Structure formats: structure tokens, C-alpha cells
Amino acid sequence: MHIIFCAIVAKTRILVASQFGWCYRTFHLCPCVSHGDTAPFDCDVGHSTEAEIFRYKIEIRIFRSGNSCNFVFWNRECELLLGLSIAQLCHTMIKAGIDDPLEFPLALISC
């Protein structure tokens, strides 16, 4: 068995905004999205928690040679690429007066 690595060089043109923005609320040991505006938060599987835990989910669209492709980066990949946990990024945004969770942080736009 051979492992092949491939690198694509392209320009990121668009951060694709989903209905949830660039992050989602979840559970400590469950990858499901939690629902509700106030605690306790519930998921479709039946878990419930009082804690708000956010994770990255960033979708980008790249363009190369007239073609485009969407990529989804999840929490682990985003933390590695940005060098910043979502808690650190949210704290920085709040200090800057940004409290809309659907607004893309400058750290994401400038990547």
C-alpha cells in the first residue's frame, strides 16, 4: 500500500457562510450540534448539557484555472491552521466589541 500526498495551490476567494456562521455549539463527548438559546442545550440524539462548547466549522471556496471547489475545515484543522483555539478567538472578538456569532472574525478573513 502506498500513501500519496497531494498539494493544491490556489487562492481562497470566499468564506462560505452557513446558517450557523463559522462555528457551532456542541457537547464535550458528542459531535452533534446542540440546540436552544439558553441552557440546558439538547441535541437530536438526546444529550443535554449546561455548558456552551463551540467548535470551528469553516467552509471556503477556492478558485483555480476557472474552476471552484468547496472545502470544509473542522475544529482540529482550524486550530492547527490558525494557531488559535475557538475560545481564544471568541475572547478576542468580545474584547473588540464583536458579539455577533455569525460575523466572520478578521483572523479568518485574513488567512
Residue pLDDT tens, the chain, 111 long: 888 887 777 666 666 766 667 888 887 777 778 777 777 888 888 788 778 788 888 888 888 788 888 888 888 998 988 888 988 888 888 888 887 766 766 656 555
In a domain, 56, yes or no: yes
Domain count, the chain: 1
pLDDT of residue 1: 80
pLDDT of residue 54: 84
In a domain, 49, yes or no: yes
In a domain, 72, yes or no: yes
Q: Which of 35, 23, 29, 17 is nearest to 84 (CA)?
A: 23
Domain that includes residue 69, residue range: 11-105
In a domain, 44, yes or no: yes
In a domain, 96, yes or no: yes
Instruction: Please tell me whether the overall predicted TM-score, pTM, comes out greater than 0.75 for this model.
Output: no
Instruction: Mention every residue, 6+ apart, whose C-beta is less than 8 A from residue 68.
Output: 13, 61, 62
CA distances from 9 to 6, 19, 45, 57, 77 (A): 10, 28, 39, 21, 17
In a domain, 1, yes or no: no
